[in-house]
Amino acid sequence: MKTLVIGAEGQLGTELRRVFADVDLATADVTGEHIRLDVTDGDALERVIRDEVRPDLVINTSAAHNVPKCEEDPQTAFAVNATAPQRMARICNEIGARFLHISTDYVFGDGGTRPYVESDPVAPLSTYGASKAAGEFLIAAECPNHCIVRAAALYGPASCLAKGGRNFVGLMLHLARTKGEVRVVTDEITTPTYTVALAEQIRVIAEKAEPGIYHASCNGACSWYDFAEAVFALTGVEVKLMKATSADFPSSVKRPNYSVLENRRLKEQGLDVMPEWRDALAAYVKTLDD
């Protein structure tokens, strides 16, 4: 299965390069040692996907996902998160390739009280969420053989380039060691998702899943405070951990207060291989000691 990973230098793309290393793999990114590709350049997408690689499977991890910057520049957010995936899906359909696209829990809104399933209506609160939701609809219209994978709160070994290199775990440890105290919100509930596990799940979806939308987060749920508490417990780092609410950190950007995903379709097809979030965090912490 000839595979093209777009966004190959990102936090998730790096893990996908490892997971798909045993296939005929091509990788593309806007920078680095891969095929140079600006996803907002329609001609470049045509050239790379249709002419240069002509894959059986395209996995798109590229995204404009710095949420505040998306609010400042909605044109770029929609160009990267909606128009570019639409073009990729169209090309994939024309050459007979499967298109797998990474989306987000931020397509959902406020007021959730139970884990969202794939059939729940989207109600994005931000430009980022709206642009990703638009991308989902456009992909579905262009390519019947698509898999849209919604994930949440990613962290892993590779740097998060859009957030200065540190994931949440790294930021908590940095703040603990440099300041000795950390304030974390208790009123935003999600499921932290380990990119190593997600990459493995994506391979299963790519090879075995029916077309459509899938939720693929780690199992379970927690607040960001709960997650930070677990980070410090597993690493043994001493810190003064204080509870806060989102009101303590005023922002012009609205984020869902509850964005837990249930991997219902994966479970129905017997394809859910995602670990519980605490087990995934423990696995990640072990890599920090290596």
Is 128 catalytic? The answer is yes
Long-range pairs for 5-9 at CB < 8 Å and ≥24 separation?
5/59, 5/61, 6/37, 6/39, 6/58, 6/59, 6/60, 6/61, 6/62, 6/88, 7/60, 7/61, 7/62, 7/63, 8/32, 8/34, 8/61, 9/34, 9/161
Catalytic entry in 106, 116, 128, 258? 128
Give the separation between CA 103 and CA 152, rounded to whole angstroms: 9
Residues annotated as part of the active site: 128
